Structure 1
Amino acid sequence: MNETAPVPASMHHGDPLLFALAGSQDFARDVAHRLGIPLSMHEERNFEDGEHKARPLVNVRDRDVFVLHSLYGDVRESGNDKLIRLLFFVGALKDASAARVTAVAPYLAYARKDRKSKPRDPVITRYVAAMFEAAGVDAVVTIDVHNLAAFQNAFRCRTEHLEATRLFAAHFLPLLTDREIVVVAPDAGGVKRAEQFRQCLGKISGKGIGAAFAEKYRSEGVVSGNALVGDVGGKDAIIVDDLIGSGTTLVRTAESCLKHGAARVFAAATHGLFVGSAPAVLAGSPLQQIVVTDTVPAFRLEGSAARSKVTVVSCAELLAQAIHRFHTGGSVSALSAF
Structure 2
Amino acid sequence: MCSNNKMDIKIFTGNANRELAEKICKEIGVELGNSVVSTFSDGEISVDINETVRGGDVFVIQPTCPPVNENLMELLIMIDAFKRASAGRINAVVPYYGYARQDRKTKARDPITSKLVADLLTSAGADRVVSMDLHAAQLQGYFDIPVDHLVAVPILAKYFKENNLIDKDTVIVSPDIGGVRRARNFASILDLPIAIIEKRRPKANVSEVMNVIGDIQNKNVIIVDDIIDTAGSMTKAAKVLKDFGAKKVYACCTHAVLSGPAIERIENSVIEKLVVTDTIPLPEDKHIDNIEVMSISPLFAEAIKRINNNDSVSKLFDK
TM norm structure 2: 0.94
The 8 Å contact of residues 174 and 196 in structure 2, kept in 1 or not, is answered as yes
Aligned residue identity for 2:239? E
Pick from 203, 218, 225: which aligns with 1:220?
203
Tell me, yes or no, if structure 1 residue 163 matches structure 2 residue 165: no
2:294 to 298, 304, 313: 313
What is the one-letter code of the residue matched to 1:167?
A: I
2:305 is matched with 324
Separation in 2, partners of 1:210, 1:36: 40
Deviation at 1:273, TM superposition (A): 1.2
Distance in 2 between the 1:118 and 1:157 partners? Answer: 29
One-letter code aligned to 2:309: T
1:133 is the counterpart of 2:122: yes
| 1:134/1:230 CA distance change after superposition, 3 Å | same
In structure 2, list runs of 5 or more residues that go unmatched: none
Task: Please tell me whether the aligned partners of residues 168 and 268 of structure 1 are also in contact (alpha carbons under 8 angstroms).
Answer: yes
Cα distance in 1 between the residues matched to 2:250 and 2:189: 17
Q: CA deviation at 1:44?
A: 2.6
8 A Cα contact 1:55 1:93, kept in partner:
no
User: In the alignment, residue 52 of structure 1 is paired with which amino acid?
Assistant: I
Instruction: Tell whether the 8 Å contact from 1:144 to 1:270 is kept in structure 2 after alignment.
Output: yes
2:62 corresponding residue in structure 1: 69
Alpha carbons 2:209, 2:237 under 8 Å: kept: no
Q: Percent identity?
A: 35
Distance 1:270 1:246 in 2: 14
Q: 1:284 to 1:45 in 2, by over 3 A?
A: closer
Once residues 182 and 172 of structure 1 are traced to their aligned partners in structure 2, the CA distance between those partners, rounded to angstroms, is 12
- Once residues 163 and 231 of structure 1 are traced to their aligned partners in structure 2, the CA distance between those partners, rounded to angstroms, is 27
Question: How many angstroms apart in 2 are the aligned matches of 1:23 and 1:332?
Answer: 25
Contact 1:239 1:267 in 2 (8 A): yes
In structure 2, C-alpha distance between the alignment counterparts of 1:240 and 1:317, rounded to whole Å: 21
Tell me which amino acid in the other structure corresponds to 1:315: I
Q: What corresponds to 1:230 in structure 2?
A: 214
Q: Which residue number in structure 2 is paired with residue 194 of structure 1?
A: 183
Shifted more, 23-32 versus 181-190: the winner is: 23-32
The CA distance in 2 between the partners of 1:52 and 1:152, in whole Å, is: 28
Q: 1:29 to 1:176 in 2, by over 3 A?
A: closer
Compute the displacement of 1:219 (Å).
2.1
**How many residue pairs were aligned?**
316
Shift of 1:46: 2.3
Alignment check: 8 A CA contact 1:274 1:300 kept: no
Asked if 1:116 is matched to 2:110, the reply is no
Specify the alignment match of 2:8 in structure 1. Answer: 15
Q: Is the 8 A contact 2:35 2:48 kept in 1?
A: yes
CA-CA distance at 1:300 after TM superposition: 7.0
Per-residue Cα deviation, 1:52-96 (whole angstroms, up to 9, x for no partner): 2213211111111100011111xxxx2101101111110110111
* Alignment RMSD (CA, Å): 1.8
Cα pair distance change 1:277/1:176, threshold 3 Å: closer
What residue ranges of structure 1 are gaps of 5+ in the alignment? Answer: 1-8, 203-208
| Separation in structure 2 between the aligned mates of residue 97 and residue 116 of structure 1, nearest angstrom | 38
Contact 2:17 2:280 in 1 (8 A): no
2:108 is paired with a residue whose SS is coil
- The whole-number CA distance in structure 2 between the counterparts of 1:12 and 1:131 is 29
* Structure 1 counterpart of 2:92: 103
Do 1:279 and 1:300's aligned partners in 2 also have CA atoms closer than 8 Å? no
Deviation beyond 4 Å, 4+ runs, structure 1? 9-12, 176-179
Seen in structure 2, the aligned counterparts of structure 1 residues 188 and 300 have a Cα distance that, compared at 3 Å, is farther
Matched residue, 1:291: 275
